[in-house]
């Protein structure tokens, strides 16, 4: 088996939700570099144009879709629009909503919003895409989880619970689709330096430095591009005997 056969994605089409920036953009560019045709997604029309431009400049193929995944049936419609470009071989469920609050401070509408984006749209997307992948005899789903799915912090109570539920869903579907060569796994990052944390990093650089030094064994936040290798593994032939698992990329935790 050559490295190309193991990890190469030529001839595959991948949808990466939330790929305008951060981890999703890095993964989309990584999958494209491995040979996949990539369908980018964000909330805004042209929100992913900069990423598409970079992929095309590197010789890849990319398309753009936009929708707010908090709205009813958005996940199903997004899969249908992506399938209109090309049959999906790979789905990376990366977009998520995170509203920090302890249980005491959690507002009902913030819980509903996080449930809709993180869990509701995942249910919609899986309901729509898994039967199609199964009928075609090949599929990979990479769900972006979080270290909080296993070791939740109280300041992200609801977000952490949605990430745990998302992985639970991945595991039940991994079991159901295991014999159909449709494999579902979770990539669970620790703290990654993205827009999501920018307010904290930029408003208090010294506090951020202290926080990251003590957060994990490496004493730093990860970079979006450090998630790419594991995403390619979970999108490729190389994970042919792996399903329902999580890869934690936390810098040691
Ligand atoms: N950064 C971390 O420390 C960290 C740690 C653990 C896990 N994660 C997980 O990794 C993934 C990516 O995180 P990130 O830090 O790269 O995120 P980010 O920089 O905040 O980017 C979020 C992406 O999701 C999209 N998105 C947000 N809300 C959406 C909605 N309602 N409907 C559709 N798309 C929406 C955004 O689109 P727009 O550009 O249009 O807003 C953007 O493309 C998430 O699942 C997150 O939970 C992140």
Please give the distance, rounded to the nearest whole angstrom, from the Cα atom of residue 127 to the centre of ligand 1: 22
Q: How far apart are CA 59 and CA 71, in angstroms?
A: 34
Return the structure tokens found at 145: 């989880």
Tell whether ligand 1 has an atom less than 6 A from the beta carbon of residue 18: yes
Please give the distance, rounded to the nearest whole angstrom, from the Cα atom of residue 97 to the centre of ligand 1: 7
Please give the distance, rounded to the nearest whole angstrom, from the Cα atom of residue 1 to the centre of ligand 1: 35
Tell whether ligand 1 has an atom less than 6 A from the beta carbon of residue 45: no
146-205 residue pLDDT tens? 999 999 999 999 999 999 999 999 999 999 999 999 999 999 999 999 999 999 899 999
Atom number in ligand 1 closest to CA 44: 40
Please give the distance, rounded to the nearest whole angstrom, from the Cα atom of residue 206 to the centre of ligand 1: 25
159 given a catalytic annotation: yes
Domains by residue range for the chain, with CATH: 3-248 (3.40.50.720)
pLDDT under 70: residue ranges of the chain: none
**For residue 100, what pLDDT is reported?**
96
**For residue 1, what pLDDT is reported?**
85
Among residues 159, 177, 211, 253, which one is catalytic?
A: 159
Atom number in ligand 1 closest to CA 227: 10
Atom number in ligand 1 closest to CA 68: 32
């Amino acid at each position: 088996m050559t490295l190309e056969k193991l990890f190469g994605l030529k001839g595959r089409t991948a949808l990466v939700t939330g790929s305008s920036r951060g981890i999703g953009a890095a993964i989309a560019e990584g999958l494209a570099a491995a040979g996949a045709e990539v369908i980018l997604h964000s909330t805004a029309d042209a929100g992913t144009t900069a990423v598409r431009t970079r992929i095309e400049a590197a010789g890849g193929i990319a398309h753009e879709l936009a929708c707010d995944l908090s709205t009813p049936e958005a996940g199903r419609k997004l899969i249908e629009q992506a399938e209109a470009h090309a049959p999906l071989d790979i789905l990376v469920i990366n977009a998520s909503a995170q509203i920090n609050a302890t249980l005491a401070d959690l507002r009902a509408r913030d819980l509903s919003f996080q449930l809709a984006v993180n869990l509701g749209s995942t249910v919609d997307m899986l309901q729509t895409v898994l039967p199609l992948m199964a009928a075609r005899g090949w599929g990979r789903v990479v769900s972006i989880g979080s270290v909080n799915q296993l070791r939740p912090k109280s300041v992200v109570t609801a977000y952490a619970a949605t990430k745990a539920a998302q992985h639970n869903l991945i595991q039940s579907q991994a079991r159901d689709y295991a014999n159909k060569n449709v494999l579902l796994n979770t990539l669970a990052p620790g703290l990654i330096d993205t827009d999501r944390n920018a307010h904290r990093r930029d408003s208090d650089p010294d506090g951020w430095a202290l926080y990251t030094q003590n957060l994990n064994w490496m004493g730093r936040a990860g970079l979006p591009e450090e998630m790419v290798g594991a995403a390619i593994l979970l999108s490729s032939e190389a994970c042919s005997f792996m399903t329902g698992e999580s890869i934690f990329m936390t810098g040691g935790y």
